[in-house]
């Protein structure tokens, strides 16, 4: 029973963190503006999630693998939208 509880905790944590940047990506898409978004933060999060994905693969942990695939996908979409809608200073 103890293992099941920890798996549920892991899945809940993974879901919360994996989808944490989704509201920002939705806002960029809806407003067609990336004015208040830091692309450096998105790149840092993407790099961190890539390392977590690598760790999950090495540990054969499907919760870590799945969570980080979702997070990286959302962050890549956010980065694409950032570069599409960013305000270029002249």
pLDDT digits (tens, 9 = 90+) for 41-81: 999 999 999 999 999 999 999 999 999 999 999 999 999 99
Q: Please tell me what DSSP assigns to residue 19.
A: T
Whether 87 has a pLDDT exceeding 80, the answer reads no
pLDDT digits (tens, 9 = 90+) for 11-20: 999 999 999 9
CA separation for the pair 18, 66 (Å, rounded): 9
Distance set, CA 55 to CA 49, 61, 72 (Å): 10, 9, 14
Q: What pTM value is reported for the model?
A: 0.87
């Amino acid at each position: 029973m103890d293992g099941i509880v920890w798996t549920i905790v892991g899945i809940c944590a993974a879901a919360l963190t994996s989808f944490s940047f989704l509201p920002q990506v939705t806002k960029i898409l809806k407003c067609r503006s990336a004015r208040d978004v830091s692309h450096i933060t998105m790149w840092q999060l993407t790099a961190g999630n890539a390392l977590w994905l690598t760790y999950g693969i090495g540990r054969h942990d499907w919760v870590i693998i799945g969570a980080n695939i979702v997070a990286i996908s959302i962050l890549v979409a956010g980065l694409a939208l950032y570069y599409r809608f960013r305000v270029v200073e002249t």
